Amino acid sequence: MSAPERDYYEVLGVARDASASDVKHAFLGKARELHPDVSNDPDAEAKFKEVNEAYSVLSDPRRRQNYDRYGDADGPSGFGSMDDIFGGFGSMADIFSDFFGGGQGRRPARSRGRDMTARIRVSLAEAATGATRTIAYDRLGVCDDCHGTGSADGSEPEPCPVCGGTGMRTVVQSTILGRMQTSVPCDECHGTGFVVEDPCPTCDGQGRVPTHEVVEVVVPVGVRNGETQRMEGLGEAGWRGERAGDLVVEFEVLGDPRFVRRNDDLAAELAIDALEALCGCNVEVEGILEDERFFVEVPAGSLEGDQIRVESRGMPRRGSGGRGDFIGVVSVSAPPELSDDELETIASISRAHGGRVPASLSGVQA
């Protein structure tokens, strides 16, 4: 990330010593004013992106510290504070669209918060040992001002007087087939069945506001590519204190230049020359775990493509404490350069076994 063109504190209109709460309130105010769904300003979209960028930095303690110290949220090295690349989240504009969509006079809001997804990439070595990742994302989180109740004075929601707490109302329409009744979500309570007398001005009575979250994710030992982990309550906050959704993390285990993973087994090339294949040898292998080394015994007469299994030297098995196996795949190359005497010795052994030795090495005139 390059240094910003405008001061982030100036963008949000807060002092450099502003608290996290001050930053959040300033952001909400600016975002309400500039969101493209509600603003008539022709530059609203660009301004909203600028506000969102400022908030994404100043709401993250580590990025804010980097910004204050170096003028760049990524710090002097050019690397961001997040330890990983992740995906699956909507943009802050999408989060705000949901927020405005659940407000007064808008579409019915969901009661339970939605699940959210993230993807974390780890190396094969990290999958073998386990790791910790820090990720940041935007979501609809619990409103700090009303503590998720949606009420400015803390009073409990009451049953909607229009729908009687059902969340639905009956609409009668005249059609060519006569009068027909249909049920539609109640406009007064937005389909929730409850209303608050004095809505919280920060969250517009929803009990939730757009927030920027930073969480640590523990990568399990032995995790496989595509496996998921559910983190309860870290998805979208529920409407007026209802149950929050979960954060579902999917792990992407990257390929490794040394090993090919087969479930919990690890396969790797055993590079030997033709003399070693003929006589047999011991090959030292650097294992998947840190500082792990072991020897693989290659039997005499091994051929290209032969597989040699070493038990319990593969990937750790998730949750069991055991390990898969190591599978060495023999790869035979030409022998090192030999002297004439060495070649003659080998030729004599070959002749004794009926080998087709070249005339130049057989002692027979061509």
* 169-208 pLDDT per residue, tens: 888 887 777 788 888 888 888 788 888 889 998 888 889 9
The pLDDT tens digits of the residues spanning 87-110 come to 445 556 667 766 765 544 344 445
Alpha-carbon span 92 to 32, nearest angstrom: 12
pLDDT at 228: 96
Domain borders along the chain are 1-80, 82-157+196-253, 260-335
First-residue to last-residue Cα distance in the chain? 74
The pLDDT tens digits of the residues spanning 249-261 come to 999 999 999 999 9
Closest by CA position to 143, among listed 237, 4, 272:
237
pLDDT at 311: 97
Helix or strand (DSSP H, E) at 118: strand 116-122
Helix or strand (DSSP H, E) at 253: strand 247-253
More confident residue, 51 or 307: 307
DSSP code, position 275: H
Query: Across residues 236-243, what is the average pLDDT?
Result: 89
Alpha-carbon span 316 to 102, nearest angstrom: 47
CA angle at residue 261 from 322 to 312, to 5 degrees?
25
Q: Binning pLDDT at 50, 70 and 90, where does residue 1 land?
A: very low
176's CB contacts (< 8 A; 6+ apart) are none
Q: And the tokens for 314? A: 């593969």
Alpha-carbon span 257 to 269, nearest angstrom: 11
Global confidence as pTM: 0.74
Q: And the tokens for 171? A: 């609409």
Comparing 1-80 with 260-335, is the CATH topology the same? no
Helix or strand (DSSP H, E) at 195: strand 194-195
Rounded mean pLDDT of the chain? 86
90's CB contacts (< 8 A; 6+ apart) are 138
DSSP, collapsed to helix, strand or coil, labels residue 355 as coil
CATH 3.90.1150.10 fits 1-80, yes or no: no
CATH 2.30.40.10 fits 260-335, yes or no: no
The architecture CATH gives domain 82-157+196-253:
Sandwich (2.60)
Q: And the tokens for 358? A: 């070249």
Alpha-carbon span 40 to 59, nearest angstrom: 27
The pLDDT tens digits of the residues spanning 298-341 come to 999 999 999 999 999 999 999 888 999 999 999 999 988 888 88
Tally of CB atoms within 10 A around 49: 15
